[in-house]
Chains A and B, each alone.
Chain A
Amino acid sequence: MGIDLSAEAAPRRRTTVRGPSDEPVVLTVNGTEHAVNLEPRVSLLDALRDRLALTGSKKGCDQGTCGACTVWVDGRRVLACLTLAITCEGRQVTTIEGLTTDGELHPMQRAFIEHDAFQCGYCTPGQIMSAVALIEEGNAGTDQDIAEFMSGNLCRCAAYPGIRAAIRDVRDARAPEPGATGDGG
């Protein structure tokens, strides 16, 4: 789950070396711009949690193995622990804190509560960010799809049955959009 460093991003690249000490960086998180000073080695996850006080994204491993840090960068799910914050300049970062609108829970958040899709709650923000993206990606067509495409998000409390049920509910409640492709993969 990397970030698309495509040609359109290239013109923004500087030729000067940045770092190793603090660099001014502007991060756009949940639609708000934040000017921070960061060493280039700071991960997006640590920037969110330690610098921006956005602690909804969790650190379960810092090694890309658990999915607790799942956020969206330009709408795609990425592991924030394996993403350097400085590479997110000019991109839209969305975290669990950005999923509610005017205090209204996202349907996936409501479904997680209703199906008791968590216990300790530590994996939950990552699960929810993955779950919402899964439906957008068209990867929630069947139960098996859900199980496979959610397997990057570990839940040590093993709330998996509830997680699946919540995703099914939200998927089924969505009015079929014109041109929807159904089963994806």
Chain B
Amino acid sequence: MSGAVGRPVDRVDGHAKVTGGARYTAEIALPGLAYAAIVGAGVPSGRVVTIDAAPARAASGVLAVLTHENLPKVAARPRLLPSLLGAPAPGQSFFPMQDEVVHYFGQPVAVVVAESHEQAQYAASLVEVAYARTPSVTTIDEGRGGAYEAERLFGGLMPGREERGDAETALAEAEVRLDLSYRFAANNHNTLEPPATTAVWEEGRLTLYDSTMGIRASQLTVAQLLGLPLSDVRVVTHFVGGGFGAKAMTWPHVTLAAMAARHVGRPVRLALTRPQTYTSHGHREEQEHELSLGATRDGRVTALRHHKLSITSPFDDWAEPATGVSSQLYACDHYQGVHRLIRGNTMTPTFTRGPGETVGVFVLETAMDELAHELGIDPVELRLRNRAATDPRGNPWSSDGLADCLRLGAERFGWHGRDPGTRARRDGDWLIGTGMAAAAYPVAFFMPAQRARARVYEDGGAVVQAGTQEFGTGMLTVATQVAADALGLPMEAVRFEAGDTDLPNTSAAVGSAGSGMVSAAVHAAATALRDQLVALAVADRGSPLYGADPAAVNVREGRMLLRDRPETGEAYGELMRRNRLADAEATGSWSPPPLDTPHGLLTFGAQFAEVAVDPELGLVRVRRMLGVFAPGRVLNPKLARSQLTGGMLWGLGQALLEGNRMDPRHGRWGAANLGEYLVAVNADVPEITAEFVEVADDVVPLGIKGVGEIGQVGAAAAIANAVFHATGRRIRELPLAAELVMDPPGTPA
């Protein structure tokens, strides 16, 4: 059926976004709205000795100052679990302002509420806090001695260790062996819209306008923290200004907004300032990796040992899982992956785009480049030689595509005939290099059933609903496409509505799972509604379709018609009017395959990059990037390309720009604003292309594997490999700072 799915249609919310009509959370106007401002701890560790709130309370417009002395205790401390699970999902198990103890810099110690934003901000500056500081640990170097192996990660969902065969022995016996160490600075999401929450209480019931990737997660978490029945908590979000993981969990400020609103008896808006975003939700943690790789002389990988060490909060064993790809991508009988942790004075780290694997793949794919160089084997060929035909359990991939991505990428990029020698190409003062990497990202399936509802009116228009949210992925658009095709209606006749927990339940849209799982639920609901109406028609003596086999009925442009005799049929509206139905409605749901599905679940791709390096200044300019991906069914190639190239540019930032470090003296971030934390700007962006390799997949929902993360994975490795090719300098640290890239003084040109 030729329909909307698969076509590069424009975003349905494009008009709202280009006119300023799209409303984000901090833009919801409410009568009597008051404004909250957080006061963050000025020390990373210790306790609050005194808080003098009197000057703040006396400032003009101030309605209240909340501290640990007068804030009510929370009703429960939900466990830390990923929001995709559909359970309460606090970003960390700690909730602030319950006592005087300070665990991390910026931890809320007071919340000021005032009549205006300016009054709240000013009064917050008047709150005088005296601290007794205790020694802190905020960097790996400070805490190395206390490192321990994480038994389980992710609130117990994942083991900290993964092992098969005997990696030690295999490494000892390997013909070629590489032992490599890597360091990674922390990363901050910096969604362009700082998270914000507006809370309104009416008759004991709470409505939250929240900037979140999971309205359901906000509802579940806040209800549990405040001891409210779920039916008394409604979460609404219309548009979200970027997620990238920052808004995947429900962080304390959301509940603090609700508590502040209850305290002052008015609606309260709590919008984080840009600096506060660095200390109000988690980050990608500082980490070190060690990779040992054993191989034969002809380039077969025989053993891999991948260890990660990272810093987490005092409360939670959280590490981005970094071995989900290195354990599976290449056929290799002996593998060991271990996560080790240090407890430090930071927030609990959290999902950051391509969580874990984008770093893990950087390690694996730059190591493969080293192996290729060492053995004199072409890097593309080395990947093809080691590619795993099944997952480590011997299960076939739900769909593959890696070899095609590598081959197509090499061809489009002009890889063949590349001189593998370093410092071989020049353009004026610039050294030119090219590099590539394989990409893969796990497909996550631990969500509960996803639900949606579809309604057709007698005039032929439809409203389809699901409690998901739009934060840039194009959810509103692709759900409209899917619903239109399933109902047999033109897209213009369908409005997809989301962003409200009163709508049918879906999980937080994280881990690239959002468009697949929600589309599957929407598809189920719309198909159920179409089947219901077709069933009504074939049973209705007044219908031209009376007595027909429902399987022989098609719906096109809102008309049900016989497949073989399309002139026989009627419109939904005619049927409904005759049966005196003002509308017809159906719900549908989709459940993921069982966790032990006998399939390997990875999304594959390949990344290529060309860089120019000024070896005297250490400047790296990416000249072009090409990514080829096999994400299963592509609902809308225009939007999917945007997400993939956006991810690739995150990879560029990861490679060259993005890094934050704790200043151990003060125990706080060295950079806490967009002037000092560098992200890619327009001038950093090269010629960039994302291509698709088609693969059919009947395990994942509607054949969709997702495009949220795979674009980023491998991109930084391709760039670092290109920098090596250009300069001969192998840098095992991100970001690739100029001082690491530049030639040492006295290097011959």
Contacts and interface: CB of A to CB of B under 8 A. Distances in A.
Interface string B17-32: 1111111101101000
B685 A55 contact: no
Interface residues of B, number: 60
A160 B682 contact: yes
Interface stretch (A1-9, A59-67, A171-179): A59-67
Contact of A60 (B16, B193, B641): B193
Interface string A131-161: 0000000000000001110110111111111
A72 interface: no
B305 to A, nearest CB: 34
Given A46-B118, A161-B685, A53 B29 contact: yes
A151 B642 contact: no
A46 B16 CA distance: 21
Given A53-B29, A63-B675, A122 B682 contact: no
A63 B675 CA distance: 9
Contacts of B675: 63, 65
A147 B682 contact: yes
Contacts of A60: 192-194, 241, 274, 674
A95 to B, nearest CB: 7
Contact of B645 (A53, A100, A114, A161): A161
A88 interface: no
Main secondary structure of the interface of B (DSSP, over half): loop
A63 B682 contact: no
Interface of B: 10-11, 13-24, 26-27, 29, 60, 116-118, 122, 189-194, 239-244, 271, 273-274, 471-474, 638-639, 641-643, 645-646, 649-650, 673-675, 679-683, 685, 688
B10 A122 contact: no
Given A122-B239, A151-B682, A160-B685, 10 more contacts: A61-B674, A96-B19, A112-B14, A113-B11, A121-B22, A121-B239, A147-B685, A150-B682, A156-B192, A160-B649
B192 A120 contact: yes
Given A46-B118, A157-B646, A160-B649, A120 B15 contact: no
Contact of A156 (B22, B118, B679): B679
A162 B642 CA distance: 8
Given A61-B673, A65-B674, A158-B645, A105 B683 contact: no
Contact of B19 (A109, A114, A147, A157): A109
Nearest to B33: A50
Contacts of A163: 682
Contact of A116 (B10, B20, B117, B673): B10
Interface size class, chain A: 35 or more
Contacts of A123: 192
Nearest to B690: A161
A24 to B, nearest CB: 16
Main secondary structure of the interface of A (DSSP, over half): loop
B673 A118 contact: no
A154 B242 CA distance: 12
Contact of B26 (A59, A112, A150): A59
A157 B246 CA distance: 13
Given A50-B117, A95-B20, A120-B472, A105 B192 contact: no
A21 B122 CA distance: 13
A158 B19 contact: no
B141 to A, nearest CB: 29
B277 to A, nearest CB: 9
Interface in A44-88: 46, 49-50, 53-63, 65-66, 68
A158 B674 contact: no
B19 A100 contact: yes
Interface string A27-59: 000000000000101100010011001111111
Nearest to A49: B27
Contacts of B243: 120
Contacts of B643: 119
Contacts of B20: 54-57, 95-97, 125
B688 A124 contact: no
Nearest to B643: A119
Closest 5 CB pairs of A and B: A56-B20, A122-B241, A121-B17, A120-B472, A119-B472
B274 A61 contact: yes
Interface in A1-25: 21
Nearest to A20: B60
Given A61-B673, A96-B19, A158-B646, A121 B241 contact: yes
A119 B636 CA distance: 13
A73 B180 CA distance: 55
A101 B646 CA distance: 32
A96 B16 CA distance: 11
Contacts of B472: 118-121, 157
A58 B193 contact: yes
A158 B241 contact: no
Given A97-B20, A118-B17, A161 B193 contact: no
B619 to A, nearest CB: 16
Contacts of B641: 116
Nearest to A158: B649
Contacts of B650: 158
Given A56-B20, A119-B472, A122-B192, A105 B15 contact: yes
Contacts of B240: 120
Nearest to B688: A161
A168 interface: no
A30 B21 CA distance: 15
B190 A151 contact: no
A121 to B, nearest CB: 3
Contacts of A41: 118, 122
